[in-house]
Amino acid sequence: MKIIVVDDDESALDSLLLSLRETCPSENPVVFRKSAEALTYISENGCDVVFLEIRLKEETGLVLAKKIKEIVPHVNIIFTTAYPEYAIEAFRLYASDYLLKPIDAEQVRRSMDNLRNPVEIVERKHIRLQCFGNFEAFADNIPIRFLRAKSKEILAYITDRMGAACTMGQLMSVLWEDGQDTVSRRSNLRNSISDLKQTLAAFGAEDIIIKKRNSISLNCDAVECDYFDFIKHKPYAVNLYRGEYMLQYSWAEMTTGKLE
């Protein structure tokens, strides 16, 4: 489940986060103090639940809620505020709940148990990335199949970069060796990234991808990988390496040279 918190009141924010950790210990809320940053993140990553302060300094939470629902129509908006007078307008936006500060864990628990749009919880699978030989991705040791070949190659490339962010321009030059930037290729790239995220989401593992406005990277801590363990000199990974690394991708030859 993707939970977003938008609040520019530090003390109230800290209190809400404590309640969320107590109520939803397995979740990792993404926090924003500026509405524009929250909107950008949601447009690129989606969300299931938004805890939203009504009186934000940049714009009202009511305005931001309308924008969020245009992007994610079935999102659960839970307004958080010290002002009861906005409740009627909030529920006209089909808010999931309206919590008055100070907010405690029991209030958060009731809100999460009674979401207007219930969120289907997908059990997270263990993701393992195999780099030695051909590149493959596994969820609980079952091969992951992507609809697009480029989706798998994007995952391979950001794995090769070991968590370093990769811009869309860099991906274009890697995925198409002639380096030409065309409208059709940009569309292909967007669709491939979308396929990558949706495929991983089906295994509850969308958290391994970190997508920002013009970049994408791998959350290395969320996966098991023979290449990463080789770098750490783990014996099993050292013994696995036979001079073959992501054989299906020509761009991987540079890393092969470094491993040698």
Contact 154, 213 (CB under 8 A): no
| CA–CA–CA angle 176, 142, 156 (5° rounding) | 20
Q: Are strands 215-218 and 166-167 parallel, antiparallel or unpaired?
A: antiparallel
Number of H helices, E strands in the chain: 11, 12
Q: What is the pLDDT of residue 179?
A: 65
Per-residue pLDDT of the chain (260 residues; tens, 9 = 90+): 889 999 988 888 889 999 999 998 878 898 999 999 999 888 888 899 999 999 888 788 999 999 999 999 999 999 999 999 999 999 999 999 999 998 999 999 999 999 999 887 767 789 999 999 999 999 999 999 999 999 999 999 999 999 999 999 899 999 987 767 788 888 999 899 989 998 998 898 888 998 887 899 999 999 999 999 999 999 999 999 999 999 999 999 999 988 87
Q: What is the pLDDT of residue 96?
A: 95
Q: What is the pLDDT of residue 116?
A: 92
For residues 80 and 209, give the distance between their C-alpha atoms in angstroms, rounded to a whole number: 29
Instruction: Tell me the backbone φ, ψ of residue 156, rounded to 5 degrees.
Output: -65, -45
User: Domains, the chain, ranges and CATH?
Assistant: 3-113 (3.40.50.2300), 127-259 (1.10.10.10)
User: Residue 212 has which token pair?
Assistant: 């920002």
For residues 248 and 260, give the distance between their C-alpha atoms in angstroms, rounded to a whole number: 18
State if pTM tops 0.75.
no
Q: What is the pLDDT of residue 207?
A: 85
